[in-house]
């Protein structure tokens, strides 16, 4: 099997002292797809942009690592061809669903498998090439507005406390958004988390843990959750799951629940090496998946984008595409809107874009909680493939127009 090498480390482009000394047009907190795509677009338009992250890059992340057609189109629009050998994406050629011990082949619209290490570093590198500055090991704790500027409080890797200054701050911190908004910037809305929301779990398994070809995705659905397994471009297997939080407490921990999902669905019998491999590797967890946060605070000086602004369970694997689309909407708004109207216009454009997709995904997430319904849909797909071919693209979302969000 051809194996793409892991991307090398992404060195910082400036010192902490240099970052603190400047007043930036934009400080972006979080260098995942949402933050890096926003940084790339704004830096390319000539803005002084600093992107910071608590981690160094490349870093892994709990994710199914499948790029939807929408994500591929958004990346193309940024000049990133994920299929190229330089990036290493593997075309998704075969998708199979295992539920109630039966396989259902799914005809999925074209997708690409790519590790988050490779994807996120590629985006960040492009943002830096466009002129953005990069500071890793910068853990942001809070953001407030003082006079006409955003103040971003952070702790550096060596423990120093520092404040970054900018005209605006973009919070792109993903699901675990722990950035405290200061008193001067608070607005009336608060973050809402769905109490019944599932949590995400993920792990990387050794190459020989399952007989799974490159470009092949298997999804297993059971009562208390579902999981997907895919082979990454570097040979590792990526396992990503969404499970009921309460069910974790009823078994002896998150790994046991993933094994339960694998066994109950029938995947354990088809791939007997998965469960033992899972017992030997660390499992990462995410906060609750379905939530909704205010897009704008501090009179438009603080803006959220990507998962930090809201997310719905990931069965259809669309989060990366949503994050990059939202980054485009945010950057377009910052570039074409009078400063005092940015907050209102961004909120209205984002709502128009995100609402239909989130509503569709909520429906899918509810259906996935009933394996019998998924098994029935699987039978339909087996016996009426033309109908399935029409339905699947609707379920997983179409390709957005990336021309303009105006
Ligand atoms: C189980 C699971 C499976 C998924 N599968 C898929 C899939 O197959 N396809 C798909 O398209 N999407 C999938 N997703 C969704 C996808 O992972 C997210 O939607 C996507 O990563 C969102 O990008 P983001 O930039 O908003 O956030 P993230 O990618 O989470 O990036 C946020 C960044 O912010 C940094 N950060 C956080 N807090 C701070 C702080 N206080 N200070 C500084 N830095 C901070 C983090 O280190 C991180 O680098 C899945 C999600 C889960 C949970």
pLDDT tens column, 334-369? 999 999 999 999 999 999 999 888 888 888 878 878
Which CATH number do you get for residue 141?
3.50.50.60
Looking at the structure of the chain, the number of domains it has is 1
Using a 6 Å cutoff on CB, does residue 32 contact ligand 1? yes
Using a 6 Å cutoff on CB, does residue 169 contact ligand 1? no
Contact 132, 25 (CB under 8 A): no
- Tell the residue nearest (CA) to atom 17 of ligand 1: 63
Residue 396 reports pLDDT greater than 90: no
Residue 4 reports pLDDT greater than 90: no
Q: Is residue 130 part of a domain?
A: yes
Give whole-number Cα distances, 99 to 105, 130, 221, in Å. Answer: 11, 46, 5
pLDDT tens column, 67-113? 999 999 999 999 999 999 999 999 999 889 899 999 988 766 689 99
Question: Given pLDDT bands bounded at 50, 70 and 90, which one contains residue 298?
Answer: very high
Using a 6 Å cutoff on CB, does residue 140 contact ligand 1? yes
Query: Which of 159-173, 175-189, 275-289, 307-321 is predicted least confidently?
Result: 175-189
Using a 6 Å cutoff on CB, does residue 310 contact ligand 1? no
Q: Is residue 7 part of a domain?
A: no
Q: Is residue 219 part of a domain?
A: no
Place of tokens 């069965």: 315
User: Which residues, including other chains, have CB under 8 Å from residue 150's CB and lie 6 or more apart?
Assistant: 27, 143, 144, 165, 166, 167, 168, 169, 185, 298, 301, 302
| 369/385: higher pLDDT | 369
**Residue 237 DSSP label:** E
Q: Is residue 401 part of a domain?
A: no
User: How remote is the CA of residue 310 from the centroid of ligand 1, in Å?
Assistant: 11
The range of the structural domain enclosing residue 58 comes to 16-64+116-194+289-396
Q: Is residue 259 part of a domain?
A: no
**Residue-by-residue DSSP string for 50-76:** EEE-SS-SS---S---EE-HHHHHHHH
pLDDT for res 400:
45
Contact 290, 245 (CB under 8 A): no
Q: Is residue 78 part of a domain?
A: no
User: Which residues, including other chains, have CB under 8 Å from residue 359's CB and lie 6 or more apart?
Assistant: none
Give whole-number Cα distances, 64 to 27, 104, 133, 358, in Å. Answer: 28, 19, 29, 18
Nearest to 309 by CA among 156, 192, 140: 192
* Integer Cα distance of 138 and 220 in angstroms: 37
Compute the CA torsion angle 324, 330, 335, 336 (nearest 10 deg): 120
Most informative mutation of 19, 305, 319, 365 for ligand 1 (most atoms within 8 A of CB): 319
Q: Is residue 201 part of a domain?
A: no
Q: Is residue 372 part of a domain?
A: yes
Give me the percent of the chain exceeding a pLDDT of 90.
71
């Amino acid at each position: 099997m051809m194996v793409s090498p892991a991307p090398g480390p992404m060195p910082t482009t400036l010192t902490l002292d240099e970052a603190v000394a400047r007043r930036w047009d934009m400080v972006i907190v979080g260098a995942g797809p949402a933050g890096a795509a926003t940084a790339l677009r704004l830096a390319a338009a000539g803005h002084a942009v600093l992107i910071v992250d608590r981690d160094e890059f490349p870093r892994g992340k709990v994710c199914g690592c499948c790029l939807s057609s929408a994500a591929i189109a958004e990346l193309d629009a940024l000049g990133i061809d994920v299929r190229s050998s330089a990036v290493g994406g593997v075309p998704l050629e075969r998708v199979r669903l295992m539920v109630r011990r039966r396989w259902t082949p799914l005809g999925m619209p074209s997708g690409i498998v790519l590790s988050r290490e490779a994807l996120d570093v590629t985006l960040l590198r492009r943002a830096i090439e466009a002129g953005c500055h990069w500071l890793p090991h910068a853990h942001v704790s809070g953001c407030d507005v003082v006079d006409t500027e955003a103040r971003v409080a952070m702790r550096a890797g060596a423990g120093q406390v520092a404040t970054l200054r900018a005209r605006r701050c973009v919070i792109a911190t993903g699901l675990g958004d722990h950035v405290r908004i200061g008193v001067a910037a608070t607005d009336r809305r608060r973050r809402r988390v769905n109490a019944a929301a599932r949590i995400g779990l993920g792990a990387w398994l050794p190459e020989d843990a399952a007989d799974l070809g490159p470009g092949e995705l298997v999804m297993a659905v059971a009562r208390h959750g579902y999981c997907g397994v895919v082979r990454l471009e570097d040979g590792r297997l990526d396992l990503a799951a969404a499970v009921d939080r309460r069910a974790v407490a009823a078994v002896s921990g998150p790994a046991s629940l993933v094994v339960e999902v694998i066994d109950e669905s029938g995947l354990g019998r088809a791939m007997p090496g998965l469960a033992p491999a899972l017992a030997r590797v660390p499992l990462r967890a995410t906060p609750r998946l379905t939530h909704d946060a205010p897009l704008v605070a501090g009179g438009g000086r603080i803006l959220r984008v990507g998962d930090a602004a809201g997310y719905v369970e990931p069965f259809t694997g669309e989060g990366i595409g949503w994050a990059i689309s939202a980054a485009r909407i945010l950057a377009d708004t910052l570039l074409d809107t009078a400063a005092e109207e940015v907050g209102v216009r961004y909120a209205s454009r984002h709502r128009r874009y995100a609402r239909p997709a989130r509503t569709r995904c909520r429906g899918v997430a509810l259906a996935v909680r009933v394996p019998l319904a998924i098994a029935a849909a699987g039978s339909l797909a087996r016996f009426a493939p033309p109908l399935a071919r029409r339905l699947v693209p609707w379920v997983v979302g179409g390709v957005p127009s990336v021309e303009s969000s105006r």
